[in-house]
Amino acid sequence: MENVEKVKNLIDLRIKAKLGGGEKRIASQHAKGKYTAHERIHLLLDDGSFEELDMFVTHRSTNFGIDKEKYLGDGVVTGHGTIDGRIVFVYAQDFTVFGGSLSETMALKICKVMDMAMKMGAPVIGINDSGGARIQEGVNSLAGYAEIFERNILASGVIPQISAIFGPCAGGAVYSPALTDFIIMTEKNSYMFVTGPKVVKSVTGEDISTEDLGGAAVHASKSGVAHFKAVDEEEGILLIRKLLSYLPQNNLEDAPLLSCNDPVDRLEDSLNAIVPDNPNLPYDVKDVIHAIVDHDEFFEVHRHYARNIVVGFARFNGASTGIIANQPNFLAGVLDVDASKKAARFVRFCDAFNIPILTLVDVPGFLPGSGQEYAGIITNGAKLMYAYGEATVPKVTVTLRKSYGGAHDVMSSKQLRGDFNYAWPTAEIAVMGAAGAIEVLEGKNIAAIAEQTEKAKYIAEKTDEYKEKFANPYQAAAFGYIDDVIEPRNTRFRVIRAFQALQSKKVVNPLKKHDNIPL
C-alpha cells in the first residue's frame, strides 16, 4: 500500500505542476486571450510527443519572504518533442507563476534544454511571456539572463533558434530573443522594449503607449526586430511549424528534401511580359517568385519591414532555397540602410545552415540623401556585400531589369562568387541609368547648345545611344559577368538545373578565428 500511496503522490504532484500558479491565474491568462505555457507547447508539438523535464524544480530564494511561496516548475515549462516528426527542444515561460519572472532556477532549466539542443543538434524554440527579472533574486536573476545569452551566442549558426513573444518581454529579457534567428510576435498581447513607457516618460518626457513603444506592429515594420507578426498565438505557432519545415536540424545537415510533382520544366509565359516597357514603371517581384517556385508557395520573412527588398523561403524541385529579391513596387527597389541589413542577415542565415540562395535583381542603386548617409548607408551596404561575398552555399542570380552602380556589385554579382549569374533580355547592367549617364558624359556639349529643340534632340540621340550599348545584358555577357541570357518563361527550369549542378559545390573560406563584418 505504501508504494500505491507514493505513486498517487507522484500523480498529484504532476497535476499540481501542470496547474502552474493555479486555476485563478490560468483563468486570468485565458481572459487576456493568452494560452498557458503547457497549452502553447502542446499546440506547437506533434500530438503526444512532448517530454517535460524539471517539472519539480522550485526556486531557492529566501529574500523578502518569497520562500513562503513556491510553485513546481518555477515559472517555465521545458522539454523536448517533435514537429513533423523531427526533434526540437522547447521552453515556455509561465506567466501564472510570479508573472513569468526569471529566477536563478528558471535560468538553469532553460540553459539545460539549450545545452541538450546543442548536444543533439536540434532546433530550440523559446516562448516568452515574462515580467522580466525576478527582483527578489537580485543579481542571481541577472546572472541567469547572462547564462542564457552566452548559450544563444554559442548556438548561433549551429542550431536554429526561434523566439515566440506571446506576452511581455522587457528589459534584459529582450536580448535573448534578439540573439536568436527569428522572432515571432502577436498583435495586442505581445511587446518588447528595453525600458517601458513609464521610464521613458520620466527620463525623456515622451508620452507613449506600450503598443506604440514596443508592440508587434512597431517591431515588424519600423525596427525590424520581429520577423513575423501573427494575429494570435495559433497563427504564431503555425508560423513556427512552417518555418522549421524549410530548415535543417543543424549546421551539419541539409534542409528536408520533399517530393515534388510540380514539373521542373514548367513554363511561365506570363514572365515574358511581366517587366514593363517603360523602365520607370513598377511591377511586383513577388509575382515572379510565385511563378517560378514549387506550387507557388513562398514563405516570406520580414514582410512588413524594408519592403523595397523581399526575402523568404521557397522550394525548387523540393529543395529548400532562400530568396532575396529587389522589389520595384516599393521605393523602386532601391537599396537603403534597412533593406541592406534585412537582406544581409537573411543571406548569412542561409549560408550558416546550408540553404542555397537565389537572388532576383532589379535595383536602380543605393538611396541617396543626407538621411541615408548619416544613418550609415556605406557601412550597412557593406554588410550586404560582405554577406554575399563570404557565403559559400550555392548562389544563383537572375537580373530581371535594372542593375546599376555599386548596387549591381552588392546583389550577388559574379565577382562576389556568384555561381551562376543569368539575366533576362530586359536586364540593364550599367554604372547608372541613361538619363544620369548622359548628364555626366555630355554635360558640356549639352550646355553649349543654345536652341532648346536642338538640345532636346541631341539629348535624345545620346540617350538612345547609351541605351543601345548598356540598357541590355549583352555587354556583361560578353565579358562573362553574365553566364547566359535566358528567356523569362524558362526561369524555373534554368534555376533548378543550376542548383542541381551546384549540389557538390565545395568552397572553403580562409582559415581565421572569425570574420569582422562591418557591424
Rounded to an integer, what distance in angstroms lies between the CA atom of residue 263 and that of residue 99? 52
Which residue did the predictor score with more confidence, 467 or 43? Answer: 43
**Consecutive H or E run containing 288:** helix 285-292
What confidence tens digit (pLDDT) does each residue in 140-154 have? 889 999 999 999 999
Long-range contacts of 111-115 (CB under 8 A, 24+ apart): 111/147, 111/148, 111/151, 112/53, 112/54, 112/78, 113/53, 113/78, 113/79, 113/80, 113/89, 114/89, 114/148, 114/151, 114/152, 114/155, 115/151
Residue in 171, 215, 322, 405 annotated catalytic: 171
From the candidates 172, 196, 318, 436, give the one annotated as an active-site residue: 172
pLDDT of residue 141: 87
Catalytic site residue 33?
no
Q: How far apart are CA 240 and CA 247, in angstroms?
A: 11
Q: Any residues with CB less than 8 A from the CB of 257 and at least 6 apart, and which?
A: 318, 319, 320
Q: What angle do CA 436, 440, 441 make, to 5 degrees?
A: 115
* pLDDT value of position 418: 96
38 with 179, same domain: the answer is yes
Which position among 382, 407, 477, 498 bears the catalytic label? 407
**Given this model, what pLDDT does residue 213 score?**
95
The whole-number average pLDDT for the span 154-173 is 95
Active site residue 407: yes
Among 55-64, 83-92, 363-372, 399-408, the range scoring the smallest mean pLDDT is 55-64
Residue 231 to residues 187, 339, 344, Cα–Cα distance (Å): 5, 24, 27
Residue 218 and residue 293 in one domain: no
Please report whether residue 510 resides in a domain: no
Lowest-confidence region among 190-194, 450-454, 493-497 = 450-454
Q: Quick one: 172 and 33 in the same domain?
A: yes
Average pLDDT over residues 263-273: 97
Backbone region of residue 371 per phi and psi (left: phi > 0; alpha: psi in -120 to 50; beta: other values): alpha
Does residue 160 lie in a domain region?
yes
Which set of grid coordinates corresponds to residue 254?
A: 541539409
Q: What is the mean pLDDT of residues 445-454?
A: 81
3-state SS track over 408-449: HHHCCCHHHCCCEEEECCCCEEECCCHHHHHHHHCHHHHHHC
Q: Looking at the domain assignment, is residue 297 inside a domain?
A: yes
Does residue 264 sit within a domain? Answer: no
Instruction: Say yes or no: 385 and 346 in one domain.
Output: yes
What average pLDDT score do residues 382-389 get? 97
State the pLDDT at residue 260: 95
- Catalytic hit among 157, 318, 376, 406: 406
Do 387 and 307 fall into the same domain?
yes
Q: Are 463 and 435 in contact (CB under 8 A)?
A: yes
328 and 347, same domain (yes or no): yes
- The answer on 393 and 323 residing in a single domain is yes
| 347 and 402 both lie in a single domain | yes
Is there a domain that residue 218 lies in? yes
162 within domain boundaries: yes
- The answer as to whether 164 is a domain residue is yes
Give tens-digit pLDDT for 219-245.
999 999 999 999 999 999 999 999 999
Give pLDDT, residue 164. Answer: 98
At 266, is the pLDDT very low, low, confident or very high (cuts 50, 70, 90)?
very high
Exposure of 401 in the CB half-sphere (CA atoms within 13 A): 28
Q: Are both 41 and 139 inside the same structural domain? A: yes
> Which range has highest mean pLDDT (15-29, 44-58, 339-353)?
339-353
**217 tagged catalytic:** no
Query: Is the domain of 399 the same as that of 462?
Result: no
Backbone angles phi, psi at 380, to 5 degrees: -75, -35
pLDDT at 246 over 70: yes
How many folded domains does the chain comprise?
3
> What pLDDT is recorded for position 490?
98
In a domain, 262, yes or no: no
Question: Average pLDDT of 127-145?
Answer: 88
Q: Which three cell numbers stand for residue 453?
A: 529643340
List all residues 6 or more positions away from 451 whose beta carbon is below 8 Å from its beta carbon: none
The DSSP-derived string for 210-243 is HHHHHBHHHIIIII---SEEESSHHHHHHHHHHH
Lowest average pLDDT, out of 178-182, 393-397, 441-445, goes to: 441-445
The verdict on 224 and 144 lying in the same domain is yes
Residue 246's identity, in one-letter code, is Y
pLDDT confidence tier of residue 52, bands split at 50, 70 and 90: very high
pLDDT on residue 1: 60
pLDDT band at 66 (very low <50, low <70, confident <90, very high): confident
pLDDT at 297 over 80: yes
What is the C-alpha to C-alpha distance for residues 276 and 290, in angstroms, rounded to an integer? 18
Q: What is the CATH number of the domain that holds 44?
A: 3.90.226.10
Q: How confident is the model at residue 252 (pLDDT cuts 50, 70, 90)?
A: very high
Examine the domain organization and report whether 226 and 321 are in the same domain: no
Are 434 and 379 in contact by the 8 Å Cβ rule? The answer is no
Task: Find the mean pLDDT for residues 311-324.
Answer: 98
pLDDT of 67 strictly over 80: no
Is 309 a residue whose pLDDT tops 90? yes
Judge whether 99 counts as a catalytic residue: no
Q: Domain range for residue 362?
A: 269-433+471-501
Q: How many helices (H) and strands (E) does the chain have?
A: 20, 17
Q: Which residues pair with 164 in a beta bridge?
A: 127, 184
Alpha-carbon span 25 to 507, nearest angstrom: 55
For the chain, what is the mean pLDDT?
A: 93
